[in-house]
Homo-oligomer: A and B are copies of this chain.
Amino acid sequence: MATSPFRKILIANRGEIAIRVMRACRELGITAVTVYSEADRASKHVRYADEAYEIGPPPSTESYLRIDRIIDVAKISGCQAIHPGYGFLAENPELPKACEAEGIIFIGPDSKAMALVGDKTQARRTVEAAGIPIIPGIKEPIEDLKKASEVATRLGYPILLKAAGGGGGKGMRVVEKEEELKSSFERAQSEAESAFGNPAIYIEKFLIQPRHIEIQILADHHGNIIHLNERECSIQRRYQKLIEESPSPIVDPDLREKMGEAAKRAIRASGYTNAGTVEFLVDQKKNFYFLEVNARLQVEHPVTELVTGVDLVKEQIRIAAGEPLRYAQDDIGLKGAAIECRISAEDPETFLPSTGKITEMIEPAGPGVRVESGIYEGYEVPVYYDPLIAKVITWGRDRKEALSRMVRALEEYRIKGIKTTIPFHKRILNYPPFIEGNYHTQTITEVEPSMENHHIEIGAVAATIVAMAETRISIQKARPGINPWKLSGRVNGLRGSGW
């Protein structure tokens, strides 16, 4: 039905983002090839793909992080391009480098630009030189506690520790005072090592109650760069984004214009192409500071898609194929408001991962609701990968409508067999400062456990009815040797007081 510059693309990822990219491929008439680990044979991305290749054992270091195997699959299957999704190899410059060596197109920036923006120290230097404000902090990665202590003392506590090797919140820690530095520094190093294979950490001044606001960028190979408005991602836990929205409740057209221009300058200065995101922190006086460039499609890209009508994945593919951007800056509107909740397989109180089999599932639908998920009824959520299993994104004519649709969608979403963060999201959606748009990166720590118990009596009745039925069934199952007439009597006896 559609024509495209590529015939065949390899999606080197799994879960919801692999399916997101494959959906774009189907709509463009491109054959979608994917890879999978031994744990993922029955995963949805394998079923959704046109072709699928096993690349190794479950741990991602032996499968999804194996550049050699991914390149092999691309060559064997005759793929012209590789889309990395997010996570795994998406920000590893070795993948575009290997693609360049093999004549395969990498759907993302070239290895040089990716290496530049991925090295946060170098990235800061580059954008600072382009006249963009950065957060006070050092410009060198640190591997040594003594050095860390000196720098922290100079900047003044609180300070922030971050992995130099990657993003996504892994390895990030705030340190409030000198006494906490040692243990936090060591933990951050160990997480950074395990997540990115690089224990280097860098340190910056920690802003009080800042807002995390980022600008979506598209840049082609012909020097055209546009921004697609901001997303606010201040609802975070341990530096992991949980909720994102566009527009930000505090960004007015003037600030949008300024941040958009700064982001474009940062991208131009870095020689960056394809889709990317420039992250800023915004302080209480609406000063913004460059944080980093995310050299990939973001988890939260759908909120931008809903308010602009642009399919970012398709634009990534077109840019990679060398097409000039189809939109000028003036073509990018901002219609209504969109919000995303990331649903994780985690206990909503303790945030401990919850794995297991999804026994029943009903996804939300209806007006203004979009679901991106990698799960299905009967799916076993594996222990090896990120706990993000689904995203709910809602659109409304205004923020209020988008929020009311999100509450409705979260109430509709039923995932049984594992615990998820849905109840946690519902709490945030009902938290007055969030409803008022008056929140920041620490807001989540203020949200109290839910005290809602409107329906506790009905809940108790439902639990009783199900427990009664289970008692009956287990009595039947547990006594295979019993005379059936007697068993029948027992069951009927129980039936008198239940199902």
Contacts and interface: CB of A to CB of B under 8 A. Distances in A.
Contacts of A397: 309-311
Nearest to A16: B366
Nearest 4 A-B pairs (CB), nearest first?
A27-B404, A365-B371, A23-B366, A26-B408
A193 interface: no
Q: How many copies of the chain does the oligomer comprise? A: 2
A324 interface: no
20 contacts: A1-B400, A1-B407, A1-B435, A2-B404, A23-B366, A23-B367, A26-B407, A26-B408, A26-B411, A27-B401, A309-B335, A309-B336, A309-B397, A311-B367, A365-B365, A365-B370, A365-B371, A366-B370, A369-B370, A377-B377
Nearest to A395: B309
A311 B305 CA distance: 19
Contacts of A128: none
A373 interface: yes
A372 B367 CA distance: 8
Interface string A95-121: 000000000000000000000000000
Given A2-B400, A397-B309, A366 B362 contact: no
Contacts of A376: 362
A19 B364 CA distance: 12
A302 interface: yes
A400 B373 CA distance: 25
B401 A311 contact: yes
A367 to B, nearest CB: 6
A28 interface: yes
A405 interface: yes
A363 interface: yes
A24 B397 CA distance: 13
Contacts of A2: 400, 404
A403 interface: yes
Given A27-B404, A27-B407, 7 more contacts: A2-B404, A27-B408, A302-B367, A305-B367, A365-B371, A365-B372, A366-B370
Contact of A367 (B20, B335, B373, B411): B20
A439 B435 CA distance: 47
A370 B373 contact: no
A366 B24 CA distance: 10
A403 to B, nearest CB: 6
A399 to B, nearest CB: 11
Interface in A293-338: 302, 305, 309-311, 335-336
Q: Which of A2, A23, A367, A368 has the most chain B CB within a 10 Å cutoff? A: A367
Contacts of A405: 27
Interface in A364-418: 365-373, 376-377, 397, 400-401, 403-405, 407-408, 411
Contact of A366 (B28, B310, B367, B372): B372
Contacts of A429: 1
A336 B309 CA distance: 8
